[in-house]
Each structure stands twice: as structure tokens, then as C-alpha cells.
């Protein structure tokens, strides 16, 4: 459910209904368990959105010159960890911008 919610552009009511119905079929959950899991995942995803925005803005500022220096990369890794982001969260944000990794000096 987490992956489906995160891959959708917006968690619509239709998507939530579909995921809730999938729980018992695909994951052997009861209807109530499926509803709970969906609620928790949707809540967690909504709470992560502001953090993703902060990372996106910081990354864009670092990548403004088209390069990410080794020091900037270390700072971004620390930032992502402190924000509770996954590697996939980071990759989805970074893939939207064109940049190169600058060689260490």
C-alpha cells in the first residue's frame, strides 16, 4: 500500500478505495486491518510531504550551478536522514533535476 500511495500523483478517494479492497485479497488482511493500514500509510505520507518539500528546495539550491560537490552530497545525505527520507524519496526528487556529481578536489 505504501508504494502505491507514494507512486500516485495524488491519493484520491478512488485510489484509497481500491487499496482498501486489495488488502484482504493481496495481503490476507481483514477489512478492518486493511482500513487501518491504509489510514496509517496515508497519514505517514501526508506528514512526509512538507519534509520532501524542504529537501527538494535545498537540493535545488545546491544544484543551481548544475553540480553537487562532495561536501554538498554529505550535507544532503545528512539532511535526508534527519528528515526520515528513504533512498527512493531522495531519488525521486533528485531525478527531476539535471546535475552532475562534482569530483572531489
Model confidence at 11, in pLDDT bands (50, 70, 90)? low
Mean pLDDT of all residues in 5-17:
79
Three-state DSSP state, 99: coil
C-beta of residue 5 within 8 angstroms of C-beta of residue 11: yes
pLDDT tens-digit map of 79-96: 999 999 999 899 989 998
User: 68 vs 1, which has greater pLDDT?
Assistant: 68
Taking alpha carbons only, the member of 70, 60, 71 closest to residue 99 is 60
Identify the pLDDT of residue 16: 86
pLDDT tens-digit map of 24-56: 999 899 999 999 999 998 898 889 899 999 999
Amino acid at each position: 500500500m505504501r508504494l502505491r500511495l507514494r507512486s500516485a500523483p495524488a491519493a484520491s478517494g478512488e485510489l484509497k478505495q481500491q487499496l482498501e479492497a486489495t488488502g484482504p485479497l493481496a495481503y490476507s488482511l481483514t477489512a478492518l486491518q486493511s482500513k487501518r493500514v491504509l489510514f496509517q500509510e496515508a497519514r505517514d505520507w501526508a506528514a512526509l510531504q512538507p519534509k520532501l518539500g524542504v529537501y527538494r528546495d535545498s537540493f535545488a539550491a545546491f544544484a543551481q550551478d548544475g553540480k553537487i560537490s562532495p561536501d554538498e552530497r554529505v550535507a544532503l545525505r545528512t539532511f535526508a536522514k534527519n528528515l526520515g527520507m528513504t533512498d527512493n524519496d531522495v531519488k525521486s526528487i533528485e531525478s527531476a533535476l539535471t546535475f552532475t556529481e562534482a569530483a572531489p578536489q
